[in-house]
Amino acid sequence: MSLYEKILPIFMANEIDKLISNLPNSPLITKAIEIAKKKHNGKKRRIENAPYLIHPLRVAHILYQAGASNELIAAAIVHDVLEDENDEEHNNNVAKSTLGYELTPEIADIVWALSDDKTIKNRSLRKQDSFDRLKEAPEKALFIKCADMIENTNDLVRMLEQGKVIPWSVFHFSPTEKLKRWKEHLELIEKKYPECTLLKKLRYNIALLSKDINQE
């Protein structure tokens, strides 16, 4: 095991603790963190092999810095928990109702608007279904989606800025297809929620990645 592999868990654990400590001290947020820890336990991120929990916490922190409410921050923390549950052995409505009971019904509605329906087995059809539901989603959901996309692209942008090669093979779609989906979501947010204060950063990330992809 390399030195990097040895220190990575310590580094990531410290970042998780710091992200949590920097969020507002709210019972709703504390409960959301508790739920996310349980649902994402043992899962890893594809790019940096970090605990998956670090992703929703980073998304929540982006929203916190943008002035989001505690309810929206809590929703960001659990924005992927339904995706991790809704497979052929799990009832989507039950999972959503449980989340609504544990937090609030509005948070459950927002999270479902942001979730892939894993009962749809074809990945392309599943992603199209998610995009179609996002078209009808409230601005609060779009705010989280924008922060989510920023967080998902931040690591890739950081790699480019450091002169590294992005390992596009870890994604399920080709770089061109991935870029197409990013742009579609960006255009949707621009159209439905033009006042979103995070749009500038998202545009920057996508433009930089687009330049890299088009050079390939």
Give the tens place of pLDDT for each residue, 139-183.
Answer: 999 999 999 999 999 989 998 888 888 888 888 888 899 899 999
Q: Confidence class of residue 86 from pLDDT cuts 50, 70 and 90?
A: very low
pLDDT above 80: residue 63: yes
- Give the whole-angstrom CA distance, residue 22 versus residue 38: 20
Which parts of the chain fold into alpha helices (H)?
A: 3-22, 27-39, 54-65, 70-77, 92-102, 105-113, 123-134, 139-161, 175-192, 199-215
All structural domains of the chain: 3-215 (1.10.3210.10)
Structure token pair of residue 173: 């779609």
pLDDT above 60: residue 82: yes
Amino acid at 20: I
